[in-house]
Amino acid sequence: MQFFILVVVLLLLAAVGFRMGRGRALKVGGEKAAALHSLPGYYGYYVALWCGLPAAFLIAVWLSCEPFILQAIVVDSLPAEARTLPAARLSLLLNEVRQLGASGNYLHASGDIATKAAEHYRTLRAVSFGAMAVLALVLSAIGCLVGLRYINPELRARNRVEGVVKLFLIASSTVAIFTTIGIVLSLLFESLRFFRMVPVTDFLFGLDWSPQMAMRTDQVGASGAFGAVPLFAGTLLISVIAMFVAVPIGLLSAIYMAEYAHPNFRSVAKPLLEVLAGIPTVVYGFFAVLTVAPFLRDAGTAIGLSIASESALSTGIVMGIMIIPFISSLSDDVITAVPDSLRQGAYGLGATRSETIKQVVIPAALPGIIGGVLLAISRAIGETMIVVMAAGLSAHLTANPFEAVTTVTVQIVTLLVGDQEFDSPKTLSAFALGLVLFLVTLALNVVALNVVRKYREKYD
Amino acid sequence: MTEMVDQVRVSAIAEKVSARLQRRYAIEKRFRLYGITSIVVALGFLAVLLISIISQGYTAFVQAEVQLPITFDATVIDPDGTHSKTALSSADYASLIRTALTARFTDADDRSGRRELMALVSQGADLEIRKLVLDDPSVIGTTRTLWLPVAASVDQLLKGHMSRDADKGGQFTTRQLAWIDDLSASGNLKARFNKWLFTAGDSRQPELAGVWGAVVGSFYSLVVTLALSFPLGVATAIYLEEFATRNRWTDIIEVNINNLAAVPSIVFGLLGLEIFLNVFNLPRSAPFVGGLALTLVSLPTIIIAARVALKAVPPWIREAALGLGASRLQMVMHHVLPLAMPGILTGTIIGMARAVGESAPLLMIGMVAFIVDVPASPMDPSTALPVQIYLWAASPERAFVERTSAAIIVLLCFLALMNATAIYLRKKFERRW
């Protein structure tokens, strides 16, 4: 709240800077401001930028350094017996101190040390915020004055302002790169810690997955089994079932929609199909648990099959339903992109419509369709909520779709929801799984995008 | 002679061709049928999904309440007569309900009878009375007829979701059933609009659980997401479309954006957990952090939509502006961007709709706790609407199945509203050049 007020005050200051800069420019510009290099407004923006940017920069730097500096000060002020705690215990204590300090309510403190440190932390934070606010406001005022002093008719205010805006545009476009770097670094960092405890080969080729066993903090190393093959197999099984549902239905719908359907029918059916894509996956998960799984179980009992209520089949079918619109809209795009001259040629040779489609249109559109299917597979592999709700938790290595299997994403969620210990292989293994997931989907996407791009313009 | 042979041969071929033609037409018909069947199947799935959710969920919008004459007995609520807040907060309001109920059903005179009687009323009913007294202490000493929530099991019984028969999962004794029937017959026990569903946070008692806390949490996350991803996304799109020359650097940016659009959302959750929580020590379960993670999820969608919208603005607009002496930035800000804005907004709304329904990254950053209070700021612990659905779906009680479906209906209504706005914007401002 306080922070919000500070931001508003700074924005108001910048607005005042704008007015003053514009006024001053009009004054120095002479008759009708004709002598000015830029429009008067640009001088206003120039001063406003001087007013706001240094202060914003200061706040950004301050906020990103503050946690580390405060932590160091708090650790320094701890009594000696607390400072010499092992790193894990110390970080627990510091976490508690931070939470207590943030809430200002020491009733649930674990001990005297925590309460004292939390009080210290709280005052430090208040002082730090006060100092930052005062410094930011002073800097803003100084910036405003400096900006005003620079104003004269020869100042190329527009170019300066546009330069800053362009810098902002360029900086924004690097966010995508920083996100990728952030993903890679955070996954890699924790995965490397994991692979120091569990060898990579055991992880990638081990057949036994049971991370829940023997997990006490003082028991690092006496870990459960971290062979991820059952997870990969389960993910693959569910994705394959999903593809068996989604590819035929999606592809045939797209063909009908693109080649046969009356425009009126198309204009109704296509948006309706896309509604399927807009439904949140958590809803599909609930649908799988509530409707599809019991239905399949009962149907299985009726014909003498035992189908688990968390079977790969029900999960895969529901995931397939989710992916239908994905496949159909991608295929629809590539099918309509096939030039009409190819169809006319086939008709001229006496082919029926279905023959034209099967022998001319589909082969021409095939690279795009394959690209779409690859993207769909990558989405199926990375899908989380449906499998978390509808698939099993324990890892079985099986190819039987009637049994419960677990997937990579299910394990990531189960390992990370609840208490996390960043020094046990149990928690860290989730990051290793995440790394595998990221790399596999990345590879699929790169291949898919290349296939699509390479063959897209073949007929233009 | 040869003519005859030719004739025979031709007619044989014609016969063969027409026979094959029949087959080819049959194949044609079948192929068409496959196409239409698959569309029907896909739409059938949609229909089954919606029907199963709505048929399960619509009953949760009403809930049984019991009408009781409650005497606000001063000797129970405030024996000292001080009207102090602590005394009023800690008074035994459940005994007021017990008095009202035992006065009506005199056959519940023993200890177990009174317990059975109280089991009909929600465990949170006394909190309703407390709230009333705290809001207006002048009610003390008066008698008022109040509608109070009943236990979820009574509600389920009245809705027909639970059997009266104890052998088939019924939870009531014959005596309780008689009381329930008596109350229903006199009109003192009936279904009313379920206000808790829309005003309360989560609760262990299904009858008091609501989605409001989750809706507020979702709202805060969405505000953060919008405030970050809209400016960043539009700026990126403007840079790539209007300023950047094609070189290695912009190629890298483009490849990155395309890949991020297809990265599983749970990976963004892992990033959020590691960077936002572990490195920057931001609070767990806070909608602010959820908003940061959702920004990463929705950014590629917005960038791609904004680029398409900018591309659709014809080049002669740009040339005319530049020809009149505008700088490149003036050309973009004064002419191209306003013309592309409807398209950009449509894309942004669609990206936001995706963010609203997203739950996997929120699970990673801990927005999945049991939280009763409605969050007061983006830094308070909270859940989000889809996560609330996930949490309720894991609850075994029948009453929560109903509420899960109701929460899904609420979520789908939000999404429908957002998408309808996007379609309206597109229809209204779409411009053909």
C-alpha distance from A213 to closest chain B C-alpha (Å): 22
Sequence-ordered list of residues with C-beta below 8 angstroms from that of A270, at least 6 positions apart, any chain: A257, A329, A332
Q: Which of 87-116 (A) contact B at CB < 8 A? A: 98, 102
Nearest-CA residue of chain B relative to A276? Answer: B46
User: At A11, which amino acid appears?
Assistant: L
pLDDT at residue A216, rounded to an integer: 52
pLDDT at position A295 over 70: yes
The residue with greater pLDDT, B280 or B241, is B241
State whether residue B342 is helix, strand or coil: helix
pLDDT at residue A215, rounded to an integer: 46
User: At A386, which amino acid appears?
Assistant: I
Verify whether the Cβ–Cβ distance A290 to B368 is below 8 Å: no
Question: Contact at 8 Å (CB) between A202 and A227?
Answer: yes
Give the confidence band of A220 by pLDDT, cuts at 50, 70, 90. very low
Cα–Cα distances in Å, from B414 out to A246, A322, B347, B357?
27, 19, 17, 10
Q: Tell me: the pLDDT tens digits for A47-69?
A: 999 999 999 999 999 988 887 88
Interface residue B235 vs chain A (CB under 8 A): yes
Report the percent of chain A where pLDDT is more than 90.
49
Select the residue from A64, A194, A252 to test the B interface by mutation, using most B Cβ atoms within 10 A: A252
Interface residue B197 vs chain A (CB under 8 A): no
Alpha carbon B247 to its chain's center: 43
Verify whether the Cβ–Cβ distance B36 to A256 is below 8 Å: yes
pLDDT at residue B2, rounded to an integer: 65
d(CA B252, CA B256): 6
Sequence-ordered list of residues with C-beta below 8 angstroms from that of A343, at least 6 positions apart, any chain: A356, A360, A361
Which region among A280-289, A349-358, A431-440, B370-379 has the lowest average model confidence (pLDDT)?
B370-379
pLDDT at position A222 over 50: no
pLDDT at position A340 over 50: yes
Q: Tell me: the pLDDT tens digits for A161-214?
A: 999 999 999 999 999 899 999 999 999 999 999 999 888 888 898 888 887 644
- As a three-state string, the secondary structure of A284-324 is HHHHHHHHHHHHHHHHHHHCCCCCCCCEHHHHHHHHHHHHH
Q: Tell me: the pLDDT tens digits for B86-107?
A: 777 778 888 888 888 888 888 8
pLDDT at residue B1, rounded to an integer: 56
d(CA B257, CA B263): 10
d(CA B283, CA A299): 47
Interface residue A80 vs chain B (CB under 8 A): no
Instruction: Select, from the ranges A33-42, A440-449, B31-40, the one with the highest average predicted confidence (pLDDT).
Output: B31-40
Mean pLDDT, chain A, whole residue set? 87
Q: Tell me: the pLDDT tens digits for B289-321?
A: 999 999 999 999 999 999 999 999 999 999 999
Region B212-429: CATH code: 1.10.3720.10
pLDDT at position A457 over 60: no
Tell which residue, A339, A409, A331, has the closest CA to residue A372. Answer: A331
Q: Tell me: the pLDDT tens digits for B191-231?
A: 889 888 898 888 888 888 899 999 999 999 999 999 999 99
Report chain A residues whose CB lies below 8 A from the CB of B299.
175-176, 179
Question: Contact at 8 Å (CB) between B337 and B231?
Answer: no
Verify whether the Cβ–Cβ distance B28 to A352 is below 8 Å: yes
Interface residue B401 vs chain A (CB under 8 A): yes
Verify whether the Cβ–Cβ distance B49 to A389 is below 8 Å: no
Q: How many CB pairs under 8 A join A and B?
A: 256
Report chain A residues whose CB lies below 8 A from the CB of B389.
282-283, 286
Q: Which CATH number is A226-456's, of 2.60.120.10, 2.30.30.100, 1.10.3720.10, 3.10.180.10?
A: 1.10.3720.10
Tell which residue, B344, B355, B345, B346, has the closest CA to residue B225. Answer: B355
Report chain A residues whose CB lies below 8 A from the CB of B278.
422
Verify whether the Cβ–Cβ distance A169 to B273 is below 8 Å: no
Report chain A residues whose CB lies below 8 A from the CB of B356.
280
C-alpha distance from B256 to closest chain A C-alpha (Å): 6
pLDDT at position B66 over 60: yes
Report chain B residues whose CB lies below 8 A from the CB of A431.
270, 274
Which region among A14-18, A81-85, B227-231 has the lowest average model confidence (pLDDT)?
A81-85
d(CA B388, CA B368): 8
Tell which residue, A115, A103, A61, A418, has the closest CA to residue B377. Answer: A103
Q: Tell me: the pLDDT tens digits for A307-339?
A: 888 889 999 999 999 999 999 998 998 899 889
C-alpha distance from B227 to closest chain A C-alpha (Å): 14
Verify whether the Cβ–Cβ distance B42 to A287 is below 8 Å: no
Verify whether the Cβ–Cβ distance A174 to B253 is below 8 Å: yes
Cα–Cα distances in Å, from B239 out to B209, B337, B382?
47, 12, 36
Interface residue B51 vs chain A (CB under 8 A): no
User: At B338, which amino acid appears?
Assistant: P
Domain residue spans of chain B: 2-58, 60-199, 212-429
The residue with greater pLDDT, B73 or B217, is B217
pLDDT at position A361 over 70: yes
DSSP A114-135: HHHHHHHHHHHHHHHHHHHHHH
Verify whether the Cβ–Cβ distance A285 to B390 is below 8 Å: yes
CA dihedral B153, B155, B158, B162 (to 10 degrees): -30
Mean pLDDT of B25-35: 94
pLDDT at residue B76, rounded to an integer: 80
Q: Tell me: the pLDDT tens digits for A93-140?
A: 777 787 777 776 776 667 777 788 888 888 888 899 999 999 999 999
Give the confidence band of A221 by pLDDT, cuts at 50, 70, 90. very low
pLDDT at residue A347, rounded to an integer: 94
Tokens of B6: 């030719």
